[in-house]
Amino acid sequence: MAMWLFIIADSATFAGCLVAYGFIRNATPNWPRPFHGITNVALMTAILLTSSLTMMFAVRHAEAGDKAKAFRWTLITAVCGIMFAALHLREWFGMIGEGATLFHNPWGTPLFSSLFFSITGLHLLHVTGGVLALLAVGLRYRGGRYNADDLEITGLYWHFVDLVWMFVVPLVYLLNLAHS
């Protein structure tokens, strides 16, 4: 129940951020559309969705009492999270290389960069926290200090991180895709 309350509170935080983003985007003339390709974000989405599936496998094996397999799938989920974070950082550095920072945007209003880095940064922070939680809980589960329920609760958080991404992608990336 505590994890559900946390998820509900956190979903309100993300909803607030995304509504603020929508408000500012709508009220700002000449909103930039700097994204030319979707390869990176599509790959990030596929990795995050796959990590949800691997997390499900981990929970299923934990429920069945197979500790070794549960731990292995938890590790695979954490690796997916690390890959997602690496792709995200690569994208960030690419944009920073083009001159976009938290307070400067080479394509127009600085609000775009501020919102982009804030929202994706908040999500990346959740992914990083999730990877650390998966590793910590997975190791303790393997060591016998935690049980299958603990792994399932961590899984709930991980699915939530995936769920938030389903809204971040269309609003922050796809709506800002350059149409030539």
Enumerate binding residues for another protein (CB under 8 A): 4, 8, 11-12, 15-16, 19, 22-24, 26-29, 38, 42, 45-46, 49-50, 52-53, 55-57, 60-61, 63-65, 156, 159-160, 162-163, 166-167, 169-171, 174-175, 177, 179
Contact criterion met (CB below 8 Å) for 51 and 165: no
Min separation Cβ 34 and another protein, Å: 14
Shorter beta-carbon distance to another protein: residue 97 or 180: 180
For residue 146, the minimal CB distance to another protein (Å) is 17
How many CA atoms lie within 13 Å of 96's alpha carbon, on the beta-carbon side?
9
Q: Rounded CA gap, 47 and 79, in Å? A: 10
Q: In the complex with another protein, which residue's Cβ is closer, 16 or 94?
A: 16
Contacts of residue 30, Cβ cutoff 8 Å, sequence gap at least 6 = 108, 109
We find the least distance from the C-beta atom of residue 132 to another protein, in angstroms, to be 21
Q: How far is the CB of 1 from another protein (least distance, A)?
A: 8
Where do the H-state alpha helices sit in the chain?
2-27, 39-63, 67-97, 110-143, 148-168
